[in-house]
Structure 1
Amino acid sequence: MTIRGYDEGWRVMGRRTEWWCGRTVMTCMAALCAVAVLPGPARAQAREQGMAAGSPVPYAFADDARQVEGASNRTEAVQLAPGGTYRSSLQNNEKAYYRLRLDSASNAYVSATAVPRAGTTVASSDGIKVSLQDSAGRTCFSGDADEARFGPTGSPRPLTAWASRRAGPDGLACQTAGTYYVAVERTSRADSSPDDWSLELQYVSEPALEKTGPTTAPETWNSASPEPVSGTAQPRRGGTSFNDARALEEGVWKGGIRAGQTLYYRVPVDWGQQLYATAELGAADGDGFLGTALVMSLHNPVRAFVGNARTEYDGTPRAAVLEPLPAVAYENRYTVDDQVGGMRFAGWYYLAAHLAAETADKFGDGAIELLLSVRVSGAPGAEPAYAGAAEPRGVFEVTEEDTDAAASGATAASGREGGDSDATMKLVAAGGIGAGSVLVLGLGVWTVVARRRAGGSSAMASGAVARGYEPPRAP
């Protein structure tokens, strides 16, 4: 089992409430138009949470995530389907169970991202643990069970942990077909915030190979640090979650990050390629020192933790540099080293940069410049000869469309380009039809009301009701 004190991300989640936009038609129209121009998962989150225009976008759960309840005992656990993404919740010191149905050949990976409410008080030892168990309650000791903790940053943020069943002759347990259970446990102090944490679960299935290959991880690989990436830094804003992570290709990228915020990016890494990444925090006015200010975490295509880098901060530029990683290879999984074992398949790799909430106390709550330097070296190699298709399909490959997305800065959810210079116009274009329809409808209603008032008709008694959440505060 791996226990970590540093992870990616935070999530802002508002309190459920009801708001009224019936005082004027235009108030309702403004709110609906603001929602219409938001991209991808952010738009769905806005509908659910009643987000006002200009509010920070919270952690963007997958648009197609199915709502499920974690069971307190295994006999009542709901079954998860391969390739599926789910939403759930977790109480303090609770263990929630979910059911899997596995064959004897496929590899199974289940990740759980726990999302505390904004403003939640957390301890460095608070976190989550994910494990996979067989029908007799025995843990699958495959070496891929994970525990994630908040660590010294002290920020409430998304924590992602994972577990797996590795099939094949090298597997240590859980080799037969049958019913298995995923246990997601919240490990918090008794005096920690009692609020529920939201959960996002993802279940990825990897098919067996057509024939067994090498079962030994490479002992040597190029671990030398590469030459720094040259060129002018280009603007590229990060996403708010795995689901809307912003695509990057090799280069230097710049944006801003605020205290308590986590920004998500994704990089396509093919078979045989190596990934290098550095996150640099720019200068800021203020006085003080933080031992852990910026943390950059790397997750592989199944959201499994690979490694992280962190740096202290005193208001002068500081950099967090990931240790050199081996090239992507199927046989990397046959090791106990997280960084080597995590580079076991091609696909989208996720970078999550988190700035400690305490940074605001010493250097203000304004955005600090964040520079990301990304290098992908090596020519793409041949993929393993899989005997079937992964679920979800395409998760372990890099396509021409993926390469194009990295060049344009598309989000993971929609494929929409993410350049900053024309970001506002792209948002408007994305929601133009919906917003225009709302505007025409609203003007029509307004006109009817005005005519009725002019004719002596009574005014409307009430307006439309929209249900959602109270907008969260900016970090």
Structure 2
Amino acid sequence: MGRRTGWWPTRAERGRLPASALPRTFSAARARVAASMVCVAAALGALTGTYAQPAAAAGTADGYAFADDALPVTAAQSTTGAERLRLGGTYRSSVSVATQAYYRLDLDAAADAYVAATVVPPPGTSVTTLDGIKVSVQDVDGGVCDQDTETFGSVRSARPLTAWAVRELTSRRSRCQEAGTYYVVVEAVKSDDEVFAPEEWELELVTVSEPKLERSAATEAPDSWNSAPPSGLTGDPSPRTGGAGFTQATRLGQGVWEDEVRPGQTLFYEVPLGWGQQLYATAELGSSPGGSGATAGALDLTLYNPVRGPVEDERVGYYGRQQSAELDPLPPVAHENRFAVSDRISGMRFAGSYYLVVHLADQVAERFGDEALGLTLRVGVEGVPRSGPDYAGEPEPKGLFEAEGASGLPSLPGGGGSGTAKAREATDDDTAMTALAVGGLGGGTALLAGLGVWTVAARRRAG
């Protein structure tokens, strides 16, 4: 696989190997409807007590949004007594800084097994360039099947940081091929004990299985692909609010998207990719209305695959003027990418939900204040999804390597994404707006009916 087997710096520092927008006709009507809905909802709330305040932004600088269904699991200090992690599960735990946390896996010989660990230092934690997280899968004899170390790097700002490891069934090695007991070892690595005030960092663990193929397939990774980004990633951006964790990631398709990010904040976005599709992404940080100076390693853009394995990251400084971080062109999603030496190629081995994670270093506040800065994401998805490999079974969790809504079709007007899901979302909005606009908003009955239509459309989008 070409996976890391020791202490490595981050990819950016070690060099590299070769929603749709509403029609303009209804823009003004939408604003009037929104205002009227607030009045109606308030009136109904006075009668029923069910009026809900608008939801707060999903991403906050105060913490990471753990999965709602994450099961608590206690880290063991030794392999003896290590709790079992079931494949396809999500777990919440913690790891003491500068110690090793142990968990157990019981594996068969019919599927690869992946473990991704996201460590969450408390906000304000002091970190250095080489501090980070190390994850490994080991056999009962202490042999390392695979390991990965991810560091905070030049963006020396406490944030969620994810590393992954795999027990892979392959003819290229003899170790870790048998069914039996294996151990997941997680370590919060630090270069200087004194800079870490907190003794424990919270941890989210996910486990995934990927079945063998029914028949043999290509075993060589591609060495060339189209590196030209797709055209048309311009125009008015559509607003989106990033989530605060992988399970709260905001869905994006091809297009231009607008958000804002505060110093110390991490935002999560989800982009579905089918087999054979390529992803292009750029994060642009807007200029600051005040302040001066420079912050090295201010903006970090990281791409994670469906198993939460780090694929690529870009980091740039900030000087008060607009600045962008752009991912280098990546290969199309393909099963054979796993045979590449480079992490950024081998990581593009699955179809499914890929994650763009944006972090703005908390040090930016020292020179430019703690107010949010504008963030623009330009996302390109090239190619039409094709059929994937024939797996000899189902992955755990089921459906993980499917990209619902992925499409290579052009984005909708205003950067509103691509694919049938986005088209359906646009249709829902248009239907609701048309009904309300034609009705003229003349009476209470029309408003209540409009509220019902709007609610149905919103629920359909949420589903």
TM-score range, shorter chain: 0.7 to 0.9
Give how far 1:105 is off.
2.4
Query: Is 1:190 equivalent to 2:193 in the alignment?
Result: yes
Structure 2 CA distance for partners of 1:406 and 1:119, relative to 1, 3 Å? farther
3-state SS of 1:361 partner: helix
Partner of 1:155: 157
The answer to whether the 8 Å contact 1:95/1:185 transfers is yes
**What does 1:22-421 correspond to in 2, within 5 Å?**
58-141=63-146, 145-171=147-173, 173-188=175-190, 189-191=192-194, 192-227=196-231, 229-284=233-288, 285-400=290-405
How big is each residue's C-alpha offset from its partner over 1:37-84, in whole Å with a ceiling of 9 and x where there is no partner?
Answer: 7599x7xxxxxxxxxxx9866311111100000111102111111110
3-state SS of 1:140 partner: strand
Alpha-carbon distance between aligned partners in 1 of 2:117 and 2:297, rounded to the nearest angstrom: 25
Structure 2 CA distance for partners of 1:326 and 1:148, relative to 1, 3 Å? same
Structure 2 CA distance for partners of 1:405 and 1:5, relative to 1, 3 Å? farther
Give how far 1:124 is off.
2.2
Alpha-carbon distance between aligned partners in 1 of 2:157 and 2:309, rounded to the nearest angstrom: 21
Question: Share of identical aligned residues, percent?
Answer: 48
The two structures have a TM-score, normalised by structure 2, of 0.76
Structure 2 CA distance for partners of 1:282 and 1:39, relative to 1, 3 Å? closer
Structure 2 CA distance for partners of 1:406 and 1:391, relative to 1, 3 Å? farther
Partner of 1:440: none
Alpha-carbon distance between aligned partners in 2 of 1:312 and 1:95, rounded to the nearest angstrom: 33
Structure 2 CA distance for partners of 1:370 and 1:55, relative to 1, 3 Å? closer
Alpha-carbon distance between aligned partners in 1 of 2:60 and 2:286, rounded to the nearest angstrom: 24
Alpha-carbon distance between aligned partners in 1 of 2:50 and 2:198, rounded to the nearest angstrom: 36
Q: Which amino acid aligns with 1:118?
A: P
Give how far 1:3 is off.
2.9
Partner of 1:22: none
Structure 2 CA distance for partners of 1:5 and 1:357, relative to 1, 3 Å? farther
Alpha-carbon distance between aligned partners in 2 of 1:293 and 1:56, rounded to the nearest angstrom: 15
Structure 2 CA distance for partners of 1:215 and 1:6, relative to 1, 3 Å? closer
Alpha-carbon distance between aligned partners in 2 of 1:380 and 1:307, rounded to the nearest angstrom: 22
3-state SS of 1:209 partner: coil
Partner of 1:445: none
The answer to whether the 8 Å contact 2:122/2:198 transfers is no
Alpha-carbon distance between aligned partners in 2 of 1:35 and 1:187, rounded to the nearest angstrom: 43
Structure 2 CA distance for partners of 1:39 and 1:63, relative to 1, 3 Å? farther
Give how far 1:264 is off.
0.5
What is the RMSD of the two structures over their aligned residues, measured on CA atoms?
2.9
Alpha-carbon distance between aligned partners in 2 of 1:160 and 1:93, rounded to the nearest angstrom: 17
Alpha-carbon distance between aligned partners in 1 of 2:366 and 2:71, rounded to the nearest angstrom: 39
Partner of 1:444: none
Structure 2 CA distance for partners of 1:406 and 1:207, relative to 1, 3 Å? farther
Number of positions where the alignment pairs a residue of Structure 1 with one of Structure 2: 376
Q: Which amino acid aligns with 2:169?
A: A
Alpha-carbon distance between aligned partners in 2 of 1:291 and 1:117, rounded to the nearest angstrom: 22
Which stretches in structure 2 are left out of the alignment for 5+ residues?
A: 13-48, 408-418, 426-450, 457-463
The answer to whether the 8 Å contact 1:267/1:406 transfers is no
Alpha-carbon distance between aligned partners in 1 of 2:314 and 2:61, rounded to the nearest angstrom: 26
Partner of 1:473: none
How big is each residue's C-alpha offset from its partner over 1:371-429, in whole Å with a ceiling of 9 and x where there is no partner?
Answer: 000000011111100010011111001124995666789xxxxxxxxxxxxxxx99xx8
How big is each residue's C-alpha offset from its partner over 1:235-276, in whole Å with a ceiling of 9 and x where there is no partner?
Answer: 011000101000000000001100111110010000000000
The two structures have a TM-score, normalised by structure 1, of 0.74
Q: Which amino acid aligns with 1:190?
A: D
How big is each residue's C-alpha offset from its partner over 1:279-322, in whole Å with a ceiling of 9 and x where there is no partner?
Answer: 00111021011221111000000000000112221111111010
How big is each residue's C-alpha offset from its partner over 1:161-184, in whole Å with a ceiling of 9 and x where there is no partner?
Answer: 110011132346311111100000
